Structure 1
């Protein structure tokens, strides 16, 4: 007589092993299918982004006539010019100031919108997004009229208080202020909608627990809201920093780099040298100088995000 009590002992383990193997095979097939479906997009991005990037590096190593390889000659020429370092300083001031105020205003407005009842919140979200939806070149033309020294609505309003007229775009300090103001007006709604979405994901139980422990409004913001939003704040700041550094249309339309090149940033000065000045390799060298600055900022921000992710 055969003892069958020990025959099926390995069957459950064998079945689970087969299930895991089939699941891995299915996931592998799905991953392969997903890669093949996204391959056209990857190729398109490669053609439109990677190729121009390497071509810019190639241009930066040529002379003005683009007939001779000169290595780092264009960069050595730029490093000896005071205007170049003024553009570096101005670009950093412009980007850091604009991103800071966009993040601050977006954070405040997101909290105000978050506390509005749901029915009215949609209407307010739509109205607050209008500056971000309008094309920047179009809205900047309207701001250009507001800053006009003769027909400025701002100067007309200030005249009632016996102030002005202020030459908004004719003086260095005011011109820089105007460029930052328009950039903040355009970009703050993006921060607002990102922060508002992040606020929706913060559990109300955390605020209730903090209130029970005696935390005031500021302490709830500092110890509950900011830690829960830290990753989205970092990613949004990095994205905005990249876009702001590469900004062209606002500065170009408002001041074109004036007065006396005091408001030039990387994009506008590269355009001035490369397109208007006819020295395309030198313009490419200016534009490439943004990459090390943005690369350092990206490393610090992303490293902080990964560090917090590993701690969690």
Structure 2
């Protein structure tokens, strides 16, 4: 019998199909291994995050004695209180202002550290990270002494210039300024280290090409540095916004929400209502109100990142 000749195109197509099937099997195997390796972390998140969140939702639907289902009654009660809307306003002012200044200072300091000679970079990075490394409760106690109405180091220094004592924590406006200042001092190093890592990943060839085209220092930052760092800036801002909204220790230690509840944010007021006021369901309702605000912010920021990824 004469050998039947198999067309070369069919042989190549069969080889391609076999390679694709083997690649699919390898990817499936790798994804299974990756899932099994991530399973302990998934279970940990489910136990420490998902379960408390669901339990908080359950608590928010109960009455003060936690014996009767009231549905949205706690939220309706909050919406009728002026203090609640003051807390919403203060939380937004506190978080947005602090994040903007942290991002701005972190960007400036990151540029400074990036341009330091390599021998001195490690020393400068270590010193600049000190505020972020110190526990916030401990550093806030030091700031509390600096703002003390009787022995304030700030007021003592200002007295030499004829500026006379400022009620750092006794006046509503100055108290807001004080808690924002401490939060910026604590959180700016985080932005600095993230932006410094992003700056080191920007190719030098882009700056050289921009310089050849006649771009000045500001134009190189606007058209080269910022576009290359947009994703890092967005993710860092979102993470810091979530942490700042949920901040508790700085406001609690520095002002305890005073004067007259003008520095309360969601976390501190939820503690005041839920723990000190013995109304756990109402405190849970206050804390849950952060979720829709942060969800809207996350949607806008992450949607912007996905758009840039599709354009790229």
TM-score tier, shorter chain, comes to over 0.9
The equivalent residue for 1:171 is 171
More displaced 10-residue stretch of structure 1: 269-278 or 2-11: 2-11
The equivalent residue for 1:124 is 124
1:16 lines up with 2:16 in the alignment: yes
The equivalent residue for 1:43 is 43
1:263 lines up with 2:250 in the alignment: no
Q: Normalising by the residue count of structure 1, what TM-score does the alignment of the two structures yield?
A: 0.97
Q: Deviations over 1:154-198 (max 9, x none)?
A: 111111112222121111111110100000000000000111111
Structure 1 gap ranges (5+): none
- CA distance in 2: counterparts of 1:274 and 1:3, whole angstroms: 87
The equivalent residue for 1:188 is 188
Which residues in structure 2 correspond to 1:42-191 (within 5 Å)? 42-191=42-191
The equivalent residue for 1:224 is 224
Deviation of 1:3 (Å): 6.0
Deviation of 1:20 (Å): 2.5
The equivalent residue for 1:274 is 274
Q: Deviations over 1:182-215 (max 9, x none)?
A: 0000000000011111111111111111111111
Deviation of 1:37 (Å): 2.2
Deviation of 1:16 (Å): 3.5
Deviation of 1:5 (Å): 6.7
Q: Deviations over 1:221-258 (max 9, x none)?
A: 11111111111111110000000000000000000000
Task: Report SS of the residue matched to 2:27.
Answer: helix
Seen in structure 2, the aligned counterparts of structure 1 residues 119 and 25 have a Cα distance that, compared at 3 Å, is: same
- CA distance in 1: counterparts of 2:125 and 2:26, whole angstroms: 42
- CA distance in 2: counterparts of 1:241 and 1:295, whole angstroms: 11
- CA distance in 1: counterparts of 2:150 and 2:286, whole angstroms: 35
1:25 lines up with 2:33 in the alignment: no
Deviation of 1:23 (Å): 2.3
Seen in structure 2, the aligned counterparts of structure 1 residues 245 and 10 have a Cα distance that, compared at 3 Å, is: same
Seen in structure 2, the aligned counterparts of structure 1 residues 60 and 6 have a Cα distance that, compared at 3 Å, is: closer
Which residues in structure 2 correspond to 1:286-297 (within 5 Å)? 286-297=286-297
Q: Deviations over 1:110-162 (max 9, x none)?
A: 11111111111111111101111111011111111111111111111111112
Task: Report SS of the residue matched to 1:167.
Answer: coil
Q: Normalising by the residue count of structure 2, what TM-score does the alignment of the two structures yield?
A: 0.97
- CA distance in 1: counterparts of 2:9 and 2:106, whole angstroms: 62
Structure 2 gap ranges (5+): none
Task: Report SS of the residue matched to 2:291.
Answer: helix
The equivalent residue for 2:233 is 233
The alignment's C-alpha RMSD in Å is 1.4
Q: Deviations over 1:24-53 (max 9, x none)?
A: 212211211221222122111101101110
Task: Report SS of the residue matched to 2:180.
Answer: helix
